Structure 1
């Protein structure tokens, strides 16, 4: 019975390893089957409250899930020290197929206990009036010569939703992130002005396309590097990609739809292209009109990533304040299906990251506010976060498999020896007088 229990443990270990692989997030979806927004599986559920006194605390480095109804103003709480820059972002996810109007959206702000606003940003549906994930962030930053929001203690995060009377009244899901920026070197901390001289000339677009399928959320975003990338997109679908952009580097991006012979009907704002920074703070967006012919649209030129960009008055420049993963999202309007059918349309993304990387301004490890060699490898291979986790898990499974195999071999060896010990006496001829030798080990017959 003991041998059977040991064998069962080995079998269970193997089954557990296989189940671990089967349960991994980020599974692929068919190109013509829009997947729902894939929330970070590590996100903890938190409830926003309409009174700040009852607000739940958010922890730095954590991800949360929440929800907000039309017209609601919800509070969450932070506890901050007196020298760390804090960033809180919210990704609003309306239900697929829901109706939104121009100006619908959310406002995220961080406020001190006296309701003084430290920082805020809006995420709204502009001319692209179709439901899709939108993101905004707010920050409390320590700036030289500014005494606002500098004290340590309790702060409030306020998320407000604005919805038109004609819009769908459905609750929107929220994905919240709270990140703390590392301490900056003394020399960089003295800077108070944004760079003014940077090249806005777009580089020659890359060619020679390769296939890359976008993910269904920020968490599942597919890694890209400089190049031309081919994908497909169906009406109502949002594709997510991420590009590592280091200090001193510029990102340029263009999205293009192939022709479709089914119709020539003109559709304004048929496709939306958006860029968000490493903490899901909105940088820039644009839309593309479509009439069945090949069409493309590019983001406006943006400055190189620089710590000093935070001092710029323009929000798109200010958002290019740290290195890390920059997120591209592409959404095809559901209205396209009415004229062109619901089949997938060929999508091309041209991404160009220009300039050599510069040194980090931080004193220590940059964390998400930097680009590592691993990030570059993931961009090169097209990995998303779940795929990277799967790779790590497979390594563990492989190690576990080797360990289980070793245990199995040892167990079989021990079982064989024991079986031989137990069967050996029966093979010994009877002793003189017909007596069997006492069992205490095999009798020598040689």
Structure 2
């Protein structure tokens, strides 16, 4: 089951048909945009695209009834408006473990400023291992947010080091807050394990690193369509990328960042042509998550109809020793792999400036040469999640995305006839359908 690093591919015949119908009249790039716009307006979109094949699981009110989580497997569950639900996971005495929970409020729901999701991890005797919360922010715009629980094997952490059963608890942060509606939320859960290293290594975080923020990357923007969930995140390499985002929508991207490399990202919203007036605080929220879907940092971009931009805070190079840092932001930059950029445009933007889409530009810089990482004893689960391969780099450079983008790439080969394109599209659809059946 794919967890987002190398997204599973699905082709929609409806999108292929749209592209085929427009290819004869316009260029490949214009055809792709036309298909995307048609797909956006044809149906009311879900706020989140769950991983294909995610297992349904029910959270328990009592730990006695908690269902098991298997590392490397994606689950779909739900969270009631009040109270906590629990799940269990069996861990050995040497691996670090991470459980990320993505909460998805139902369409049309309302949330308070501090509302969100809380994830905590405890051992079988009730000792706390970790706790993390994620909230919706000042814009009060409901959208997918993720928090994670951690079980870490470290000399500095005497608790939660034994092999045995551990419990994951999930709950709302402010279910009774002003403006929060009592709707149940959908959940996507994924557990990952990181093996121990062959050598003890550093026991403190690097004290010196380049904390100066470079100038945002310049150059002509290339269009790259965002995914709608972690599992379908669109790969991005270093570069300037443009996408269109509508109020209330959330788009997902992933950037491979290797050991020793630093990630710098600036987000921009283009000016509105609607003639509207008003101001939305944190209209565009850009959040960064690490390969275990743990929150790293975020930045808000206020919007008044004129072009606006803001950058993620300076982050250290990826280093195994960052986990010993006193701050969560630095501690989250603890392993190589695909780092996720999650962009959300607040619903209130539509009240002043229309439904969009609004032009969003992401300026992504990956600086520094890749270095050798720690020598792990054993494999992570899922395998390869904490590394960057040549295939990952190539995929990010080419922009092979999930879903509709694959269909668009089938016909974006200018100069082929409609009949040939149809045969190619149907051939790819057949191959992928067969592959899906054997995954």
Give the TM-score range, shorter chain: 0.7 to 0.9
Quick one: structure 1 residues 397 and 241, their matched pair in 2 at CA, closer, same or farther if it must change by over 3 Å? same
Q: Name the counterpart of 2:414.
A: none
Query: What is the distance in 2 between the residues matched to 1:296 and 1:371?
Result: 29
2:281 pairs with 1:247: no
Whether the aligned pair in 1 keeps the contact of 2:12 and 2:403 (CA below 8 Å) is no
Q: In the TM superposition, what are the counterparts of 1:25-424 in structure 2 within 5 Å? A: 29-30=36-37, 32-33=40-41, 35-36=45-46, 37-144=48-155, 146-162=157-173, 163=175, 164-186=177-199, 189-206=200-217, 207-261=219-273, 262-363=275-376, 367-384=384-401, 394=428, 397=431
Deviations 1:310-351 (A, max 9, x none): 111111111111110000011111111111111211111100
Query: What is the distance in 2 between the residues matched to 1:155 and 1:25?
Result: 45
Q: Give the secondary-structure state (helix, strand or coil) at the position aligned to 2:103.
A: strand
Q: What is the aligned residue count?
A: 379
Whether the aligned pair in 1 keeps the contact of 2:81 and 2:182 (CA below 8 Å) is yes
Deviations 1:26-84 (A, max 9, x none): 99853754732110012100100010010000001111000001122011001111111
Whether the aligned pair in 1 keeps the contact of 2:269 and 2:307 (CA below 8 Å) is yes
Q: Give the secondary-structure state (helix, strand or coil) at the position aligned to 1:90.
A: strand
Query: What is the distance in 2 between the residues matched to 1:353 and 1:144?
Result: 32
In structure 2, the gaps of 5 or more residues are: 1-8, 17-34, 410-426, 435-439
Q: What's the CA shift for 1:114?
A: 1.0
Which fold has the larger relative contact order, with Cα–Cα distance below 8 Å and residues 6 or more apart in sequence?
Answer: 2
Q: Give the secondary-structure state (helix, strand or coil) at the position aligned to 1:144.
A: coil
Query: What is the distance in 1 between the residues matched to 2:74 and 2:346?
Result: 29
Whether the aligned pair in 2 keeps the contact of 1:110 and 1:118 (CA below 8 Å) is yes
Query: What is the distance in 2 between the residues matched to 1:85 and 1:168?
Result: 36
Query: What is the distance in 1 between the residues matched to 2:85 and 2:290?
Result: 24
Whether the aligned pair in 2 keeps the contact of 1:96 and 1:236 (CA below 8 Å) is no
Query: What is the distance in 1 between the residues matched to 2:120 and 2:359?
Result: 38
Q: Give the secondary-structure state (helix, strand or coil) at the position aligned to 1:70.
A: coil
Quick one: structure 1 residues 190 and 356, their matched pair in 2 at CA, closer, same or farther if it must change by over 3 Å? closer
RMSD (Å), alpha carbons: 2.7
Whether the aligned pair in 1 keeps the contact of 2:239 and 2:365 (CA below 8 Å) is yes
Q: What's the CA shift for 1:182?
A: 2.5
In structure 1, the gaps of 5 or more residues are: 1-19, 401-446
Query: What is the distance in 2 between the residues matched to 1:21 and 1:256?
Result: 30
TM-score (normalised: structure 1): 0.80
Q: Give the secondary-structure state (helix, strand or coil) at the position aligned to 1:339.
A: helix
Whether the aligned pair in 2 keeps the contact of 1:289 and 1:295 (CA below 8 Å) is yes
Quick one: structure 1 residues 146 and 273, their matched pair in 2 at CA, closer, same or farther if it must change by over 3 Å? closer
Q: What's the CA shift for 1:23?
A: 6.7
Query: What is the distance in 2 between the residues matched to 1:356 and 1:50?
Result: 48
Whether the aligned pair in 2 keeps the contact of 1:32 and 1:233 (CA below 8 Å) is no
Quick one: structure 1 residues 387 and 359, their matched pair in 2 at CA, closer, same or farther if it must change by over 3 Å? farther
Whether the aligned pair in 1 keeps the contact of 2:51 and 2:231 (CA below 8 Å) is yes
Whether the aligned pair in 2 keeps the contact of 1:182 and 1:362 (CA below 8 Å) is no
Deviations 1:381-414 (A, max 9, x none): 11235589999x959939x9xxxxxxxxxxxxxx
Quick one: structure 1 residues 171 and 227, their matched pair in 2 at CA, closer, same or farther if it must change by over 3 Å? same
Query: What is the distance in 2 between the residues matched to 1:60 and 1:236?
Result: 32
Query: What is the distance in 1 between the residues matched to 2:386 and 2:263?
Result: 16
Query: What is the distance in 1 between the residues matched to 2:367 and 2:321?
Result: 19
